[in-house]
Amino acid sequence: MALNRGFEYREQINARGCGLTVLDYLSRSYRHSSAEDWRNRLEKGEISLDGLRAPGEAVLKAGQRLVWQRPPWNEPEVPLAYAVLHEDKDLLAVAKPCGLPSAPAGGFLEHTLFALVRKHYPEATPIHRLGRGTSGVVLFARTARARSALCAAMRRNEVTKVYRALAGGIPAAESFSIETPIGPVPHPRLGTIHAASPAGKRALSRVSILERRSDACLLRISIETGKPHQIRIHLAAAGHPLVGDPLYATGGGLKDLGAALPGDSGYLLHAEYLRLQHPATDSAFEVSCCPPPGLRVREELGIWNQELRIRKSERLTMEAAGG
């Protein structure tokens, strides 16, 4: 655990909050904390309304500004490292480890990839994000020009994104597409969360089998849309939820009435490859990240184990020689 510097959460009240008391609004909108927790924060003076200390019984009006000055808190331990895969004056591509959140949320502020990257690249802006339990390539823009061009390319589905995943069961076809709509569904702790929903928006994932295992399969997934948790939802909807996924059940809905949270891990999902047009040169740009051992086919594992043996032998030889 490590104590951060605290954070100021700001929002402007809209029609959804108009007419509610401050306490009711906070309790209904942010269910990660109980009404009693919010009452205690109001009594401590942590919350202000239009620059003045907010009483819990104050009735909100549209346009008012509500601020929670959250004191420093201990963030959970996570892997605090990343690797640079590519760097130029416009782009930065890094490898995120499993367990490290991409951006501040859910109790994480400084223990995030965004905060770590900004320490060395203060100008960098993430173009997309990965779930906390997902490893692999994350792309940052280092200039306003690059950010604008990459965001536009994302909206036009001009960025190829390829993942690997370990899913339960064996699909009947070598390759197939999943088009289950994805949208918000009720969640007891978060209000809503993305899952398979007939009322959701279009999403498309293309899947192929890399390797069959005894009771699971290693899959290659290319996504043409970027909905939150798309791969986890789509594979679950197709009857092959990720092995160890605590959140999504077969069918693409939530397990255990939504007792788990999106950041809860236990599954294997890796962003392996990105291809796009470089925003400065307009030439093809590709970046890849080697998957973890659990997501490698047998031939790749054999090569990896051989490299480990060679490195161990070289180290022992150097030690014997006094190097």
Residue pair 123/92 in contact (Cβ under 8 Å)? The answer is no
Chain segment 85-135, per-residue pLDDT in tens: 999 999 999 999 999 999 998 789 999 999 999 999 999 999 999 999 999
Q: What is the DSSP string of 84-124?
A: EEEE-SSEEEEEEPTT--SSSBTTBSSSSHHHHHHHH-TT-
CA atoms within 13 A on the CB side of 67: 12
Closest listed residue to residue 222, CA positions, set 171, 182, 274, 150: 274
Do both 18 and 149 map to the same domain? Answer: no
DSSP 3-state assignment of 154?
A: helix
**Which residues make beta-bridge pairs with 212?**
217
Question: Which residues are CB-neighbours of 312 under 8 A, at least 6 positions away?
Answer: none
Chain position carrying tokens 């620059």: 51
| pLDDT value at residue 317 | 44
Closest listed residue to residue 133, CA positions, set 262, 290, 220: 262
- What does pTM read for this prediction? 0.84
pLDDT exceeds 60 at position 55: yes
**Count: domains in the chain:** 2
pLDDT exceeds 90 at position 311: no
Is residue 304 included in any domain, yes or no? no
| Angle separating helix axes 22-29 and 35-43, nearest 10 degrees | 130
Do both 219 and 240 map to the same domain? Answer: yes
Is residue 322 included in any domain, yes or no? no
What CATH number is associated with residue 16? 3.10.290.10
Q: Which of 73, 98, 116 is the last residue of a domain?
A: 73
pLDDT exceeds 80 at position 217: yes
φ, ψ for residue 300 (rounded to 5)? Answer: -65, -40
Both structure tokens of 246:
């605590």
Do both 205 and 286 map to the same domain? Answer: yes
Question: Which residues are CB-neighbours of 95 under 8 A, at least 6 positions away?
Answer: 82, 83, 84, 85, 135, 136, 137, 138, 289
How far apart CA 323 and CA 318 sit, in angstroms, is: 5
Give residue 229's domain range: 83-291
Do both 233 and 261 map to the same domain? Answer: yes
The H or E element spanning position 318 is: helix 298-320
Do both 106 and 61 map to the same domain? Answer: no
| pLDDT value at residue 256 | 80
277: exposed, middle or buried (Cβ count in 10 Å: 0-12, 13-18, 19+)? middle
φ, ψ for residue 2 (rounded to 5)? Answer: -140, 135
How far apart CA 79 and CA 83 sit, in angstroms, is: 12
Do both 47 and 98 map to the same domain? Answer: no
Amino acid identity for residue 243 in this structure: V
| pLDDT value at residue 117 | 98
What CATH number is associated with residue 200? 3.30.2350.10
Both structure tokens of 210:
């890399």
Chain segment 276-308, per-residue pLDDT in tens: 999 999 999 999 999 999 999 976 655 555 555
Count of C-beta atoms within a 10 Å radius of residue 132: 23
| pLDDT value at residue 9 | 93
How far apart CA 140 and CA 287 sit, in angstroms, is: 12
Both structure tokens of 253:
């809905």
Count of C-beta atoms within a 10 Å radius of residue 299: 9
193: exposed, middle or buried (Cβ count in 10 Å: 0-12, 13-18, 19+)? buried
Chain segment 145-173, per-residue pLDDT in tens: 999 999 999 999 899 999 999 999 999 99
How far apart CA 164 and CA 160 sit, in angstroms, is: 14
CA atoms within 13 A on the CB side of 261: 10
